[in-house]
Amino acid sequence: MALFDDPPREKPQPHRIGEDLAALSIDELEARIALLDAEIARLREAIAAKTASRSAASSFFKR
């Protein structure tokens, strides 16, 4: 049990593809772009790691 009643935190809404963007402010749109850019970078890193792993395995088993 909490000693103090903190106001509930508002969770940021995830971006949904095709969502109506008319109700969002410029700041909210820029924040979503930053979030999506970070996610794209994370996905590219995962692809690079998997590609390197596949290459290492492939060269090991071709010997």
Q: What is the pLDDT of residues 18-31, one digit of tens each?
A: 999 999 999 999 99
Q: Residue 36: pLDDT band by 50, 70, 90 thresholds?
A: very high
Query: 61 φ, ψ to 5°?
Result: -80, -10
Q: What is the pLDDT of residues 37-57, one digit of tens each?
A: 999 999 999 999 999 998 888
pLDDT at 48: 96
46 vs 44: CA distance, rounded Å: 5
Global pTM value = 0.64
Q: Report residue 51 as tokens.
A: 């590609």
51 vs 23: CA distance, rounded Å: 40
pLDDT at 63: 62
Q: Report residue 4 as tokens.
A: 């103090």
29 vs 21: CA distance, rounded Å: 8
